[in-house]
Amino acid sequence: MSQLATPSRLSRTDIERVVRDVLSGHLAGSTGKRTEQPNPLMVNISARHVHLSQEHVEVLFGAGSQLTVFKPLYQEGYFAANETVAVVGPRLRMIANVRVLGPCRGASQVELAFTDGISLGIDLPVKISGDLAGTPGCVLVGPKGVIELQSGVIRAMRHVHMGPDDLDYFKCQNGDHLQLKIHSPGCTTILEDVVVRASKEVKLEVHLDTDEGNAVNLDRATHVELIKPEKCGCKH
Ligand SMILES: [Zn+2]
């Protein structure tokens, strides 16, 4: 007889483990597989881009100018604009033709990959979009004018847009950190700290930047999955 079969020897941990094993076995047996994910998971690369206030659109592209649609984005109502600007760093290094995304926002913001920051000479902080306090600035040059941003240049923190059904399914809430596993030939990777950005009218979509997308060879990925990490001791 095994040690575990003697009730007096069973520790609380043993009992919990046995119960857990039985329950998970039972659930797997009864349902066959997990509940279906309510929405397909899209993982897209956000190439470097700029968000502009309407006021800045008019400075850069002329009084009365409006952004015009070049290509709709996956999220309803958002688009890549025909308009582009040059982003100039502190040592006059420049990246030309950076796409503006619409619609306009309250505050202008420049989202770059680390590699872009290195070539511009800007030490990019990793920030959730819109969290611009204390971030570095740059100069934006358009066909009709120039804007000097005092702040607003960031590397956007990798994130996943989730609607109510997705929050339910993954049992998480706005601001939680998930993991994204990308299965790619030769470079399967788990990205941590994929921050949940919840809103009502949104499609399930992960945004990575070009550095991240290239590192995991996203173009060749065969499968992607979001994973809720076990609670760990560290604070993030
Ligand atoms: Zn996004």
Please write the tens of the pLDDT for every residue from 55-102: 999 999 999 999 999 999 999 999 999 999 999 999 899 999 999 999
Return d(Cα 128, Cα 115) in angstroms, integer. 18
Confidence of residue 103 (pLDDT cuts 50, 70, 90): very high
**C-alpha of residue 206 to centroid of ligand 1, in Å:** 7
Confidence of residue 17 (pLDDT cuts 50, 70, 90): low
Q: Domain boundary residue among 156, 189, 206?
A: 156
The answer to whether the CB of 205 falls within 8 A of the CB of 161 is yes
Within this chain, do residues 140 and 203 fall inside the same structural domain, yes or no?
no
Q: Does 3 score more than 50 pLDDT?
A: no
Q: Does 53 score more than 50 pLDDT?
A: yes
Look over the chain and give the mean of its residue pLDDT values, rounded to a whole number. Answer: 89
Q: Domain boundary residue among 156, 187, 207?
A: 156
Within this chain, do residues 59 and 108 fall inside the same structural domain, yes or no?
yes
Within this chain, do residues 166 and 191 fall inside the same structural domain, yes or no?
yes
Query: Is residue 77 assigned to a domain?
Result: yes
Buried b (16+ CB within 10 A) or exposed e, 152-170: bbbbbbbbbbbbeebeebb
**C-alpha of residue 160 to centroid of ligand 1, in Å:** 7
Q: Domain boundary residue among 156, 186, 211?
A: 156
**C-alpha of residue 235 to centroid of ligand 1, in Å:** 24
Query: Is residue 21 assigned to a domain?
Result: no
Range of the domain at 72: 47-156
| DSSP structural state of residue 217 | T
Pairing of the two strands 159-162 and 189-198: parallel
Question: Taking Cα atoms as reference points, which of 135, 132, 149, 138 lies closest to residue 56?
Answer: 149
Within this chain, do residues 152 and 61 fall inside the same structural domain, yes or no?
yes
**C-alpha of residue 161 to centroid of ligand 1, in Å:** 6
Q: What is the pTM of this model?
A: 0.81
Number of structural domains the chain divides into = 2
Query: Is residue 17 assigned to a domain?
Result: no
**C-alpha of residue 202 to centroid of ligand 1, in Å:** 10
